[in-house]
Homo-oligomer: A and B are copies of this chain.
Amino acid sequence: MSKQQISKYPVPALTDVPEDVRDMMLAVQEKAGFIPNVFLTLAHRPEEFRAFFAYHDALMLRESGLSKAEREMIVVATSGLNHCQYCVVAHGAILRIYAKNPQIADQLAVHYSRADISDRQKAMLDFAVKLARTPEAISESDHAALRDHGFDDEDIWDIGAITAFFGLSNRMALLINMRPNDEFYLMGRLPPQPEKKRPGG
Contact = CB atoms under 8 A, between A and B. Distances in A.
A149 interface: no
B175 A131 contact: yes
Interface string A22-61: 0000000000000000000000110110111011001100
Interface in A145-201: 153, 156-157, 160-161, 163-165, 167-172, 174-177, 179, 182, 185-186, 189-190
A1 interface: yes
Contacts of A54: 47, 50-51, 54
Interface residues of A, number: 68
Contact of A172 (B50, B89, B115, B164): B164
Contacts of A65: none
A172 B6 CA distance: 30
Given A110-B85, A114-B177, A116-B4, A58 B51 contact: yes
Count this chain's copies in the assembly. Answer: 6
A83 B5 CA distance: 29
Contacts of A13: none
B47 A62 contact: yes
B62 A55 contact: no
**What 6 A-B pairs have minimum CB-CB distances, sorted nearest first?**
A83-B136, A51-B55, A164-B171, A160-B175, A83-B111, A47-B58
